[in-house]
Copies of this chain bind each other. A is one copy, B any other.
Amino acid sequence: MSAPRPRSAGCADVGGTSARVAIADPSGRLLVRGEFPVSEHAGDPGGLIDRLAALLGHLAEQAGLSITALDALGVGIPGPLERAAGVVTLSPNLGWHDVPLRSLLSARLGGLAVHIDDDANTAAIGEGWLGAPAGEPNWAYVIVGTGLGAGLVIDHRLYRGAHDGAGELGHTTLVPDGPRCNCGNFGCLEALASGTAIAARATAALERGAESSLHALAPPITAAQVFAAAAGGEALSASILSSAGRHLGWALANLVNLLDAARVVLGGSVGSAGGAYLEAAEAALRRAALPSLAARVTLTPSRLGDDAGLLGAAYIALYPDQPLPRTRPR
């Protein structure tokens, strides 16, 4: 007996600053969508869950559907999490600890099936469904924003590892005596090439009295401000982005040498921002990867942008546990 034909699904992408919610049809069209800030619910999973459920109900109504007409709800959320159990083990950004998200949401939604996954994984799944690498068997999605993570697609499936822990590219050690990382180690890629690292590098340079037009900005300096200044020709910002991008490219070369990935898709606010960061990453990747692989690997910024995570959350709800499609969508 084959699985029933999917109808439509709810999807949510819960980030560090906002939660985005939508209803998707089986082809990945987002029929209706909404958003709310999560900062109001820091340390209050119940409040966030209530708000998410209410927004989903409102969106279903807008789409002329009832919650029970949905196949399921898919949720991407920063991990670590226990996917099978549906529990968010720890989410420092949300202030959560051992939250049984799946059962709480399902109870709040009249028993609707809920699937949860790490937000880097859902974004990779979204890209593999409808983005540049759709239909390709072996590639990697790398998300760079506040943090840095990866989703690895191997033989058309998101690869999760022995304990659902794969893809921690951000904790690749590059410089053993480098800056301290949130994980407690030193010189991890995340501490060298993430948005947080870029902002910290700029702040430290300004505190050391480096010459820069960034001094005119009110602290704290953000990665977005460093990107904007570099695009306008500001030298300190350009140099910080080049250094961060070089470290990213170095880690991508190691990934490509190990996995022979045909493509790396860069997503997230920093990963898709281009400029000196992307240029330096690409140059370092081509230089440090083995020549036979360097000549063939493709580095592309995400085409789906912020929607990748929502679409991936829809995919895990519509097609639970299925591999990615082997063909590109028409």
Interface size class of A (residues with CB under 8 A): 35 or more
**How far in angstroms is the closest Cβ of chain B from A82?**
11
A residues apposed to B, CB below 8 Å: 80, 137-139, 150, 152, 154-155, 157, 159-169, 171-173, 176, 183-185, 250, 253-255, 257-262, 287-288, 290-293, 296
Known contacts A159-B154, A260-B160: A165-B292 contact under CB 8 Å: yes
- Whether A288 and B185, one on each chain, are in contact in the complex, defined by CB atoms closer than 8 angstroms, is yes
Q: Which residues of B contact A157 (CB under 8 A)?
A: 155
Contact A162 B290 (CB under 8 A): no
Interface residue from B137, B163, B255, B296 paired with A260 (Cβ < 8 Å): B163
> How many copies make up the complex?
2
A172 touches B262 (CB 8 A): no
Q: Which residue of B lies closest to A165 (CB)?
A: B260
Asked whether B173 lies within 8 Å of A262 as measured between CB atoms, the reply is no
Name the distance in Å between A315's Cβ and chain B's nearest Cβ.
20
Q: Which chain B residue lies CB-closest to A138?
A: B162
Chain B residues closer than 8 Å to A165, beta-carbon distance? 260, 290, 292-293
Q: Give A154's nearest chain B residue, CB to CB.
A: B154
Give Cα A293 to B287, complex, Å. 30
> How far, in Å, is A247 (CB) from chain B's closest CB?
10
Q: Which residues of B contact A155 (CB under 8 A)?
A: 154-155, 157, 159
A262 B162 Cβ-Cβ under 8 A = yes
| Cα A166 to Cα B256 with chains together (Å) | 8
Q: A163-B296, A292-B80 are in contact. Are A169 and B260 (CB under 8 A)?
A: no
- CB pair B293–A259 under 8 Å, yes or no, is no
Asked whether, in the complex, the Cβ of B154 is within 8 Å of the Cβ of A137, the reply is no
* A166, A184, A255, A287, most chain B CB atoms within 10 A: A166
User: Is the pair B292, A258 in contact by a Cβ cutoff of 8 Å?
Assistant: no
Q: Provide the residues of chain B in CB contact with A163, threshold 8 Å.
A: 260, 262, 292-293, 296
User: 9 closest A-B pairs (Cβ-Cβ)?
Assistant: A161-B260, A162-B262, A165-B260, A166-B260, A168-B257, A138-B162, A172-B254, A171-B257, A173-B288
